[in-house]
């Protein structure tokens, strides 16, 4: 038996009504319901039942509303007169929820669902309500059982019926109407119907959350991928962690699975893994798990079935294991619905959903979505290994294309040789062709080198021998040089590296003078030798203990001189100053077509040397020389018809000239780099190019939209490169800033939320300036999105990161922002503590009087509300008095403005303190600290002073002055001093008329307001 008193139960119900929806609220509602029933108080019991129904409806247990609603309906049928009008309205409103709830309960027979719908129709008709809500419920029932004729009839009747107080809100109705059209394949009409909800014109407790999720696949099918991305970022932020929106969570997971963002889908799954078990609402479980099954199916299909996912039923499951467990449960639930409904519709829809194929190969989202590790997938021809008509190349043609790509240094060479090796393994071609055997040995050596194999150098040596045996000494010389480089890469002893390098130099020099590749092989050997010798000097320094653990490595001046000499010796023409000019000159000479340079040319070797020299010069602090070399390097790569190689020097040059204060040149270089990156396959370089251009554009001040596009691409490519931390985090931070600048707050917040863990790692902890700025921005975004509690958390975390900073002002500003957000979240005590801390810090910083004054004014208003006791007003006057004392009679313009604002706010405070019972008989209150006695008309005097001070700031404070003058006049009016009030307003009208400018819309608006107020008086 409950020991709670009626008052305790009533207070508990009020408190629970403000609690977040979820298991805790349900448990509390059930306990309060039992206590209310035991108290034998009918009104209290009805209130408790309503609270329990609400708790169930907005949770994963919504189907349990049937029992408490049936009790409430019994109470109504027993004594309808006991129900207030509001209770009657609430009862009939919740009737709709129950009708939907029993439809989602497969164990309730279809006949019982029909009876319930009939009873709803009867009760609504007797109560005088429109049939609109009834027909909407009937349409949902008919759709669930696959009765198309009844569905369309009920749908038409629903739309034709009048809206009344029982109709769902516009947002919820449009949800169902759009879903009806989407189920019938009319994506265009569905998106049109959802338009007002997606645009934010219509909303409610669960909208646009649900519609944002429902719109994802229709938008993808319509090719409107940017809108789909936006709706995912907006919608998932709203739905995250809300158990009543598990259907929407499932839709977001499915969206990720069908857009190449499986990693993102797994992260969302991990965040909601606690809901994988059996749910009371089995229909929600089916929808939630359906989206997850699409994701797990994609992982299986792409060779990731053995990837660990989340814990379920006592163990961490692989994707394949979790798929089997969830699939078992899903088909069982679907079978229960089909048995109840007498159709196979639910099972058919589940099967169709699980079998869905990707709607976009890869859709960058901006949020963290690392590439999955390479996996074994079914063999299929690669794109570059097919002919123009789409058929697979013959093996001979494939080999020839691979050799051509290798000779040109084209990025496709790797993919082509991979395909050659795959097909050679399946046939006997390599066994009868010594040249191809040597080629495959060389490719195998490169693969071993990339994998870090210890025997890679020896593999290159064997490939060199095979090339010589096949009569290809030039290719052998290249393999010898690769063996030296691979040995260095693997950390081989210096003696081995020197020996292999000497052998490579001999191989190159020993080529016949008539060999077209001789000059190139000699140049490559010389260039590689310079770099390898530098590596050996570096090793020697560290071995001798000369290397420093801290600080940057010293520049290798020997290499600097040698590279300079190499470049000078091999430069046959003056370096091109600008890449754009280089392209024009090359076009005029007809250079740029495939094969534009002779096979044995050395132009690209010179370009690579120039790039290396430029990088050294940047380390040595000589950016001017480096910039010229980078331009020349890009021009030479273009001359060698290797535009993909020009990307790196162009991208680096863009960053250098941007840092040097030339954004125009930086933008030109960055755009050129992007234009030449079409054939680049290195994801890290593709990310760098886009990040550099995005940084230049965001710095321009008007390029946030394009900057966002490139930052989005950068984040995607960095994820693919395994660089989510570092450059990936920087790209996401830039993307969030671009979105914020463009007013896309929800997207910016979601991107920044995703980036924070990587930012913390990238920038070495919470105290880094970039991390603090990121948290501050996230706080601003969350406050704008009306999530002040979360905003305050970010401000406080940012403030904590600044505690070791020498300057206390950033921490003071962040504490101030946290206090404002805490106040907006009704956390008054916490807000006051944050304001007090901010005040301490501003005072510690010194010379921050304007900030101190603003904090004091905020503290004055913090605890005031209608009906506050006199001691709270006295406290508020004390804070205002302190503020006034800090700025009164100041000659500093900023402080004179704060003086005006303080006078204005103090006047408002004194006016608010006057209660209706005063009836104009104003007795002076005791003087408060700070020289602020509450004397008669003190508020009007303060407003006059404020108006005078605001006048000093002209147009910048026009509104502030206007408001002060109007409030003074209106206060006179409220105190029945009509002539004085009208005189003030007439003077203001005359002033505004005298300065009226037909082109000044703001001034005209103020004049209209003044005239209207004078007329009211």
Going by C-alpha positions, the residue among 835, 834, 780, 838 that lies closest to residue 808 is: 838
Q: What 3-state class would DSSP assign to 105?
A: coil
Residues of the chain with pLDDT below 50 are: 1, 376-381, 573-577, 579-596, 915-934
Q: What is the pLDDT of residue 193?
A: 97
Tell me the torsion sign for CA atoms 737, 699, 583, 642.
negative
817-821 CB contacts, 8 Å cutoff, 24+ apart: 817/776, 817/779, 817/780, 817/783, 817/791, 818/779, 818/792, 819/855, 819/858, 820/783, 820/858, 821/779, 821/782, 821/783, 821/788, 821/789, 821/791, 821/792, 821/795
Helix, strand, coil shares, percent, the chain, to 5:
70, 0, 25
Write down how long the chain is: 1017
Integer Cα distance of 421 and 416 in angstroms: 9
Distances (CA, A) of 27 to 395, 419, 971: 70, 62, 52
Which DSSP state fits 585? H
Integer Cα distance of 813 and 817 in angstroms: 6
Q: What is the pLDDT of residue 599?
A: 63
Going by C-alpha positions, the residue among 947, 926, 945 that lies closest to residue 935 is: 926
Q: What is the pLDDT of residue 922?
A: 40
Architecture per CATH, 602-681: Alpha Horseshoe (1.25)
Integer Cα distance of 247 and 286 in angstroms: 8
**Equal fold, 602-681 vs 862-913+936-1016:** yes
Q: What is the pLDDT of residue 1000?
A: 81
Joined tokens for residue 772? 């603090």
| Pair 504, 477: CB distance under 8 Å | yes
pLDDT, tens digit, 9 for 90 and up, residues 250-277: 999 999 999 999 999 999 999 999 999 8
- Beta bridge partners, 316, equal 311
Residue with tokens 């129900």, as numbered in its chain:
83
Going by C-alpha positions, the residue among 37, 39, 43 that lies closest to residue 68 is: 37
Q: What is the pLDDT of residue 431?
A: 55
Joined tokens for residue 261? 């963002």
Task: State which fold the 862-913+936-1016 domain adopts.
Answer: 1.25.40
Going by C-alpha positions, the residue among 114, 127, 365 that lies closest to residue 262 is: 365
Cα dihedral 323, 328, 330, 331 in deg (nearest 10): 130
pLDDT, tens digit, 9 for 90 and up, residues 791-835: 999 999 999 999 999 999 999 999 999 999 999 999 999 999 999
Angle at 78 between CA 76 and CA 79, to 5 degrees: 70
Domain ranges of the chain: 240-363, 412-538+561-566, 602-681, 862-913+936-1016
Q: What is the pTM of this model?
A: 0.84
Distances (CA, A) of 642 to 153, 678, 826: 66, 12, 63
Cα radius of gyration rounded to whole Å, the chain = 37
Joined tokens for residue 678? 């079409």
Q: What is the pLDDT of residue 936?
A: 66
| Pair 95, 101: CB distance under 8 Å | no
Integer Cα distance of 768 and 762 in angstroms: 10
Continuous H helices in 660-787: 663-675, 683-700, 704-720, 727-741, 745-762, 769-784
Q: How many CB atoms lie within 10 A of CB 857?
A: 22
Distances (CA, A) of 61 to 53, 262, 335: 10, 29, 20
Which letter, b or e, does each residue of 872-907 get, where b requires 16 or more Cβ atoms within 10 Å of its Cβ? bbebbbbbbbbbbbbbeeeeeeebbbbbbbbbbbbb
Q: What 3-state class would DSSP assign to 392?
A: strand
Q: What 3-state class would DSSP assign to 309?
A: strand
| Phi then psi dihedrals of residue 512, to 5 deg | -60, 145
Cα dihedral 869, 871, 873, 876 in deg (nearest 10): -140
| Pair 610, 566: CB distance under 8 Å | no
Going by C-alpha positions, the residue among 365, 356, 414 that lies closest to residue 385 is: 414
750 preceded by cis ω (within 30°)? no
| Pair 860, 911: CB distance under 8 Å | no
- Beta bridge partners, 312, equal 315
- Beta bridge partners, 204, equal 207
Integer Cα distance of 846 and 498 in angstroms: 64
| Burial class of residue 219 in the structure, from the number of CB atoms within 10 Å of its CB (0-12 exposed, 13-18 middle, 19+ buried) | buried
Integer Cα distance of 1014 and 970 in angstroms: 10
Integer Cα distance of 857 and 877 in angstroms: 9
One-character DSSP codes across 907-918: HHHHHHHS-GGG
């Amino acid at each position: 038996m409950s020991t709670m008193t009626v008052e305790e139960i009533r207070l508990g119900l009020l408190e629970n009504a403000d609690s977040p929806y979820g298991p805790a609220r349900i448990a509390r509602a059930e306990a309060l319901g039992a206590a209310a029933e035991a108290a034998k108080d009918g009104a209290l019991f009805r209130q408790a039942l309503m609270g329990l129904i609400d708790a169930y409806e907005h949770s994963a247990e919504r189907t349990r509303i049937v029992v408490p609603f049936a009790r409430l309906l019994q109470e109504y049928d027993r004594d309808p007169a006991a129900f207030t009008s509001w209770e009657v309205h609430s009862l009939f409103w919740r009737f709709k929820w129950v009708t939907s709830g029993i439809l989602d309960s497969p164990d309730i027979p279809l006949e019982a669902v029909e009876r319930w719908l009939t009873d709803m129709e009867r009760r609504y008709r007797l109560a005088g309500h429109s049939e609109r809500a009834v027909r909407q419920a009937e349409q949902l029932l008919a759709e669930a059982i696959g009765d198309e004729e009844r569905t369309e009839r009920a749908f038409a009747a629903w739309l034709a019926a009048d809206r009344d107080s029982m109709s769902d809100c516009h947002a919820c109705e449009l949800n169902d109407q759009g879903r009806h059209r989407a189920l019938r394949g009319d994506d265009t009409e569905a998106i049109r119907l959802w338009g007002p909800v997606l645009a934010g014109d219509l909303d409610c407790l669960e909208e646009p959350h649900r519609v944002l999720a429902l719109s994802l696949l229709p938008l993808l099918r319509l090719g409107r991928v940017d809108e789909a991305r936006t709706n995912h970022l907006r919608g998932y932020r709203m739905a995250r962690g809300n158990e009543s929106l598990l259907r929407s969570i499932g839709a977001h997971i499915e969206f990720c699975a069908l857009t190449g963002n499986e990693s993102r889908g797994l992260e969302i799954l991990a965040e909601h893994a606690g809901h994988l078990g059996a749910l009371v609402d089995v229909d929600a479980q089916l929808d939630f798990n359906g989206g997850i099954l699409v994701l797990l199916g994609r992982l299986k299909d792409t060779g990731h079935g053995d990837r660990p996912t989340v814990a379920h039923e006592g163990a961490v499951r692989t994707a394949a294991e979790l798929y089997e467990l969830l699939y078992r449960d899903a088909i069982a639930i679907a079978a229960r619905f089909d048995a109840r409904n007498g159709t196979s519709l639910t099972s058919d829809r589940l099967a169709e959903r699980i079998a869905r194929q990707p709607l976009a190969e890869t859709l960058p989202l901006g949020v963290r979505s690392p590439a999955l590790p390479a996996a074994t997938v079914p063999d299929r021809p690669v794109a570059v290994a097919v002919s123009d008509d789409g058929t697979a190349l013959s093996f001979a043609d494939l080999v020839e294309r691979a050799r051509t790509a290798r000779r040109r240094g084209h990025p496709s060479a790797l993919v082509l040789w991979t395909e050659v090796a795959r097909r050679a393994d399946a046939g006997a071609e390599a066994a009868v062709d010594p040249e191809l055997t040597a080629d495959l040995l060389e490719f195998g050596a490169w693969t071993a080198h990339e994998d870090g194999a210890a025997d890679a150098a020896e593999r290159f040596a064997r490939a060199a021998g095979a090339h010589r045996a096949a009569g290809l000494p030039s290719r052998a010389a290249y393999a010898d040089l690769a063996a030296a480089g691979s040995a260095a890469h693997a950390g081989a002893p210096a003696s081995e590296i020197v020996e292999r390098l000497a052998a490579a130099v001999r191989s190159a020099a020993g080529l016949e003078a008539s060999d077209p590749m001789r000059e190139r092989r000699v140049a490559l050997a010389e260039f590689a030798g310079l770099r390898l010798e530098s590596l050996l000097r570096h090793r020697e320094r560290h071995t001798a203990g000369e290397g420093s653990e801290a600080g940057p490595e010293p520049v290798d001046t020997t290499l600097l001189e040698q590279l300079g000499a190499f470049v000078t010796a091999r430069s046959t023409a003056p370096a091109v100053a600008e890449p754009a000019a280089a392209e024009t000159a090359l076009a005029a000479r007809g250079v740029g077509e495939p094969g534009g340079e002779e096979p044995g040319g050395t132009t690209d070797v010179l370009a690579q040397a120039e790039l290396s020299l430029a990088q050294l010069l940047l380390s040595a602090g000589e950016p001017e020389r480096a910039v010229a070399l980078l331009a020349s390097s890009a021009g030479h790569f273009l001359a060698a018809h290797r535009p993909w190689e020009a990307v790196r020097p162009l991208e680096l040059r863009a960053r250098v000239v941007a840092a040097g204060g030339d954004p125009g040149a930086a933008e030109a270089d960055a755009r050129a780099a992007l234009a030449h990156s079409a054939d680049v396959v290195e994801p890290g370089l593709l990310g760098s190019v886009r990040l550099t251009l995005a940084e230049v554009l965001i710095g321009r001040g008007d390029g946030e939209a394009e900057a966002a596009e490139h930052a989005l691409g950068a984040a995607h490519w960095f994820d693919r490169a395994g660089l989510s931390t570092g450059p990936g985090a920087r790209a996401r931070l830039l993307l969030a800033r671009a979105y914020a600048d463009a007013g896309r707050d929800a997207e910016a917040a979601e991107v920044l939320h995703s980036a924070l863990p990587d930012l913390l790692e990238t920038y070495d902890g919470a105290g880094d300036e970039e991390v603090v700025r990121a948290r501050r921005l996230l706080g601003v975004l969350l406050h704008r999105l009306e999530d002040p509690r979360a905003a305050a958390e970010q401000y406080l975390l940012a403030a904590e990161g600044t505690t070791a900073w020498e300057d206390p002002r950033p921490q003071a500003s962040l504490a101030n922002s946290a206090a404002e957000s805490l106040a907006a979240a009704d956390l008054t005590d916490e807000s006051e503590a944050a304001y007090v801390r901010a005040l301490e810090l501003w005072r510690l910083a010194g010379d921050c009087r304007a900030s101190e004054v603003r904090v004091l004014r905020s503290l004055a208003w913090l605890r005031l509300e209608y009906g506050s006791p006199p001691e709270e007003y006295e406290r508020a006057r004390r804070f205002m008095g302190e503020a006034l004392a800090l700025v009164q009679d100041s000659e500093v313009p900023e402080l004179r403005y704060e003086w005006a604002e303080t006078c204005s706010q103090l006047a408002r405070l004194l006016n608010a303190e006057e209660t209706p019972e005063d009836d104009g008989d104003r007795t002076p209150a005791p003087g408060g600290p700070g020289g602020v006695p509450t004397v008669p008309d003190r508020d009007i005097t303060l407003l006059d002073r404020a108006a005078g001070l605001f006048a000093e700031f002209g147009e910048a404070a026009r509104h502030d002055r206007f408001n002060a003058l109007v409030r003074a006049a209106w206060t006179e009016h409220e105190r029945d001093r009509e002539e004085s009030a009208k005189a003030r307003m007439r003077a203001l009208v005359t002033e505004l008329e005298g300065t009226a400018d037909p082109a000044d819309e703001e001034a005209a608006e103020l004049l209209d307001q003044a005239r209207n107020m004078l007329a009211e008086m």
